[in-house]
Amino acid sequence: MDAKKLALFEARAKIIKALAHPTRLYIVDELAKGERCVCELREGVGADISTVSKHLLVLKNAGLVEDDKRGLQVFYRLRCPCILSFFGCIEDVLRENACHHRALVGK
Amino acid sequence: MDAKKLALFEARAKIIKALAHPTRLYIVDELAKGERCVCELREGVGADISTVSKHLLVLKNAGLVEDDKRGLQVFYRLRCPCILSFFGCIEDVLRENACHHRALVGK
DNA sequence: CTTTAATTTGGTTATAATACCAAATAGCCA
DNA sequence: TGGCTATTTGGTATTATAACCAAATTAAAG
């Protein structure tokens, strides 16, 4: 693998890694409906607010969300809503896996 | 977040996590061109063969690839080629990030 | 049945990710 | 200013990943 390809795959992996956590997928799903402030997200996530804040930082560092402080609150929104189209395939894989699993169990 | 949604996001995260590594992205890219045996992949990756074998196991456990032993060799192939469509959006994000970065640098 | 080749598995060590708590920061309002 | 609220940052402990080497497994061939 040459250096250029390696760099490409590293860049892609960085973004994919940012999505690779249930809490962050929840956040993305929530932001798909519109911008949300940290405290709204915290409610849905049900974890410490510092934890949520750090998840948001991960998404922000990957360029997936942007934020906007208004008063006391910080609002986050998706930067590239195309991210959503992304999950169609994941669902296909999940369906395939379920199907395969049923086949193995012999039912 | 109710239990059902949590389960969905956990299932998605498991698959996304399996993709979140440069070596595994390289492997997926390679398999997109057709099936490959472990030793061919090892050459491209340039790591210990046991390392490559473990990356393949991660992809297999996520249901992303399937394997097929023929003689001494084990061939791997993509199970859901739709995975490829997946990267279009990642590239969009990367382009956006590059654009944003240039804007920050003021050029 | 012994040797050789391809791959996987087990073990170890190093590094990264995640969660929570506590403390710091920033903006509003009395 | 002083206090209150929303969020981020720092610190730390726990758990998960990833790499390599060595040993085990499996299939083919002599």
Could you give all domains of chain B from N- to C-terminal order, each with its CATH number? 3-80 (1.10.10.10)
With CB atoms and an 8 Å threshold, state whether A15 touches B94: yes
The pLDDT, as a whole number, for residue B82 is 83
**Whole-angstrom distance, CA of residue A89 vs CA of residue B13:** 13
Q: Best residue in B58, B97, B104 to probe A by mutation, most A CBs within 10 Å?
A: B97
Q: What angle do CA A82, A18, A51 make, to 5 degrees?
A: 120
Q: Pairing between strand B36-37 and B65-70?
A: unpaired
Q: H or E stretch including A38?
A: helix A38-45
Residue nearest to nucleotide C19 (CA to C1'): A51
Q: Best residue in B6, B43, B90, B92 to probe A by mutation, most A CBs within 10 Å?
A: B90
The pLDDT, as a whole number, for residue A60 is 97
Please report how many Cα atoms fall inside a 13 Å half-sphere around the Cα of residue B82, on the Cβ side.
14
**Whole-angstrom distance, CA of residue A24 vs CA of residue A61:** 13
Q: Is B107 or B5 the better-scoring residue by pLDDT?
A: B5
- All residues at 6 or more sequence positions from B68 whose CB lies less than 8 Å from its CB, including other chains: B35, B74, B75, B76, B77
Dihedral angle computed from the Cα positions of residues A5, B92, B97 and A55, in that order, rounded to the nearest 10 degrees:
-100
| pLDDT tens track for A20-79 | 999 999 999 999 999 999 999 999 999 999 999 999 999 999 999 999 999 999 999 999
- Given a contact cutoff of 8 angstroms between Cβ atoms, the answer to whether A59 and A105 are in contact is no
Output the pTM of the full model. Answer: 0.92
Least confident of A36-40, A89-93, B14-18: A89-93
Is residue B67 helix, strand or coil?
A: strand
